[in-house]
Structure formats: structure tokens, C-alpha cells
């Protein structure tokens, strides 16, 4: 089993993790990957399904915060305006956004014959990081079938981390980056709630990483390693706490605190985006009532999910890096494993 932050004594914050310490601790959330590793090609898709039903028919409240907007994601404008998601989320590489968009449209049209006829269109959400350092991004190998494979592989339970799916070819702080996840448990009005985070970690300058115990591991000197900070990080937050979209946007913004704890400063060329959704209180596409009832978090209690988002983001990034082995890819470019460096220190 790959190392995780907690197994190495790297504790992020004070709130307890969920049973899996993963975004799938939020009931109904599923994650799947499609991974391609073949020499110069190190890439893939990661899919996040927010619940087990058709998200176009049963939408969820959502919010998005663009920490630094050097990115090519699709669907975020409508999420920011309407405060809803209505498709699964796909995480791929920068030049696969259109492919992911088409795949989500294909699935939505197949499930909903009324789209574009008697009802509106659909807003696919596709998020991306540039994996071009380790993978031949110009080859554009990812297809709709790869996106379908990630969607179809999505399951509840433990989440595979590291160099998988949309994390296959990415880097973080000069080490191999990847997909990572973590969760936090919260108590509100005497009931247990969960907030989970999944990251696609592709950001940070070599030498800037700060571990929770204060260590600052530096990757060993490698050819091609000294490049400017032009990465990205995608952060997806899921929670079963009832919140409205404005509150979810505020929670998403606090993920930046988790990145900062690690030493990130959100460089000029970095696409750093956080999207948060709540599985509580679905929105029916064909709601008939003029006024719909809604239960939301008391704003005076929102510091607790703020803290949970920061802590889980910090830990998810560490889990992504620790699970990722050393990788050699395009043109001999390589990234070392953080776990290997820590084991030797």
C-alpha cells in the first residue's frame, strides 16, 4: 500500500478524518480513473460522480473559487452564476478539456432525450492540469472512450491515489504529483457531517514544500528539474452539510489556506481552482413549486467547514505526492517520489 501522510506522522490540523479519509466518505460520492502509461504518454482522466442518480435531473448546489485563473476548464461560468452542478466532474489534461466536454454531453444526451428539444442544454464541468512535462500533451491521446472508462470505473470506497487518472503525468514542488484525497468529520446540531476533498496536484516550486512537522524536503538534482512554477491544482470539495451556493463558494476559497500551508504562493502561470458541492438538498430539474424549501448552515457556524476544507486540502496534496512513485516520461523528463526522499532522510 502506498504511504499516506498520517501513516508517516504528518498530521494536518485538528479535526478527525473520516473512515476512509477520502472524498468518498461523503455518502454517494464515487471516484474512478482511466490511466494511460506508455513511455512518453503519461496521462488520463479522473471522474467524480456526486451521487448515484442522474445529476442533470437531480442537480446539486455548488460554488467555485478561482484562486489563480491560468486555466482552461469548462463549465465554471455557469456554476458561478447559477450555483449548481448537473453533470459528473471530469479531471484531465489541458488539451483534453474538449474531449471531456463531449463525453459528458454524450452521456447526458443519452440519458435525457429532452435536452436541447423541450428543455435547455447541459453544462458539463471539466477541469484540467497541464501534464506536458512528463507526457506528450501534443499527442492528444485521450478519447471520449477514456472519459467513459473513468466514469464507468467510479465507485464508492477507497480512492486510488498518486500517478493515476488525471494525476498520471503531473508534478508538485519538483516531485511527482498526482491525485490525492482526504476528509474531515464535523459535528453540527448533534449530528455527524463529512467534508471531503480530492485534489489534482500539479503546482509548487521545488524547495518550497513545507511539511506539517516543519521539514522542507528538496528533490534531488535532476536534469530538467529547474523550471518556473507554471503548474495548476484542481480541488474538488464534497460535503453533506446543507449549504447554499454562496456558502459553498466561501468554503472553496478556504482551500487556498491548505495550499499556502504547504508553501504554495499561486504563481502567475498556475491555474488554481476550487469547486465545492453539497449532496444535501437536491434541486429537481422539473421543480414545479414557485418557492422551494431550503435548509442551510447557520453562517455563524461556517468556521468549522472552513477549517475542514483547509486541513483536508493540505492532507490531500500530501497523500497525492506520497502515493506517487518516481516517474520518467517524455524526452527523458523525470520526477522523483517524495516518499522515497523522506525514506532516505
Sign of the alpha-carbon torsion through 49, 51, 56, 60? negative
Q: Are strands 178-188 and 175-176 parallel, antiparallel or unpaired?
A: unpaired
Give 307's contacts (C-beta < 8 A, 6+ positions apart).
13, 14, 15, 184, 254
Name the 3-class secondary structure at 75.
coil
The torsion angles phi and psi of 14, rounded to 5 degrees, stand at: -120, -15
Candidates 65, 136, 240, 272; catalytic one: 272
Residue 157 · residue 119 · CB < 8 Å? no
Cα separation of 104 and 270, whole Å? 25
Cα separation of 41 and 343, whole Å? 28
CB atoms within 10 A of CB 182: 35
- For the chain, how are helix, strand and coil distributed in percent, rounded to 5? 30, 30, 45
Candidates 135, 171, 245, 270; catalytic one: 270
To which residue does cell 489534461 refer?
A: 93
Residue 272 annotated in active site: yes
What Rg value do the Cα atoms of the chain yield, rounded? 19
DSSP per residue over 209-226, as a string?
A: ---TTS----PPP-TT--
CB atoms within 10 A of CB 86: 27
Residue 183 annotated in active site: no
Candidates 73, 96, 232, 337; catalytic one: 232
Residue 171 annotated in active site: no
- Catalytically active residues, by annotation: 232, 270, 272
Amino acid at each position: 500500500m502506498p504511504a499516506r501522510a498520517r501513516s508517516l506522522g504528518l498530521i494536518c490540523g485538528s479535526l478527525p478524518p473520516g473512515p476512509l479519509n477520502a472524498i468518498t466518505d461523503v455518502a454517494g460520492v464515487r471516484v474512478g480513473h482511466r490511466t494511460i502509461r506508455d513511455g512518453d504518454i503519461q496521462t488520463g482522466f479522473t471522474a467524480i460522480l456526486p451521487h448515484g442518480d442522474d445529476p442533470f435531473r437531480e442537480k446539486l448546489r455548488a460554488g467555485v473559487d478561482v484562486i489563480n485563473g491560468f486555466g482552461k476548464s469548462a463549465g465554471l461560468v455557469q456554476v458561478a452564476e447559477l450555483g449548481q452542478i448537473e453533470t459528473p466532474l471530469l479531471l484531465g489534461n489541458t488539451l483534453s478539456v474538449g474531449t471531456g466536454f463531449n463525453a459528458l454531453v454524450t452521456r447526458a444526451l443519452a440519458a435525457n432525450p429532452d435536452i436541447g428539444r423541450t428543455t435547455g442544454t447541459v453544462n458539463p464541468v471539466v477541469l484540467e492540469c497541464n501534464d506536458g512535462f512528463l507526457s506528450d500533451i501534443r499527442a492528444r491521446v485521450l478519447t471520449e472512450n477514456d472519459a467513459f472508462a473513468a466514469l464507468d470505473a467510479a465507485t464508492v470506497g477507497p480512492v486510488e491515489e498518486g500517478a493515476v487518472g488525471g494525476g498520471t503525468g503531473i508534478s508538485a514542488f519538483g516531485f511527482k504529483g498526482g491525485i490525492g484525497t482526504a476528509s474531515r468529520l464535523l459535528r453540527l446540531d448533534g449530528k455527524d457531517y463529512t467534508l471531503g476533498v480530492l485534489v489534482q496536484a500539479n503546482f509548487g516550486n521545488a524547495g518550497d514544500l513545507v511539511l506539517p512537522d516543519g521539514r522542507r524536503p528538496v528533490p534531488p538534482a535532476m536534469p530538467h528539474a529547474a523550471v518556473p512554477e507554471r503548474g495548476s491544482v484542481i480541488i474538488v470539495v464534497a460535503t453533506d452539510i446543507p449549504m447554499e451556493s454562496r456558502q459553498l463558494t466561501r468554503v472553496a476559497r478556504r482551500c487556498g489556506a491548505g495550499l499556502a500551508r504547504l508553501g504554495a504562493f499561486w504563481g502567475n502561470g498556475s491555474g488554481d481552482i476550487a469547486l465545492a458541492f453539497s449532496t444535501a438538498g437536491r434541486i429537481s430539474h422539473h421543480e414545479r413549486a414557485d418557492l422551494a424549501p431550503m435548509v442551510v448552515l447557520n453562517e455563524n457556524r461556517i468556521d468549522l467547514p472552513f477549517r475542514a476544507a483547509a486541513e483536508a486540502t493540505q492532507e490531500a496534496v500530501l497523500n497525492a505526492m506520497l502515493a506517487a512513485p518516481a516517474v520518467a516520461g517524455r524526452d527523458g523528463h523525470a520526477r522523483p517520489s517524495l516518499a522515497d526522499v523522506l525514506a532516505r532522510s
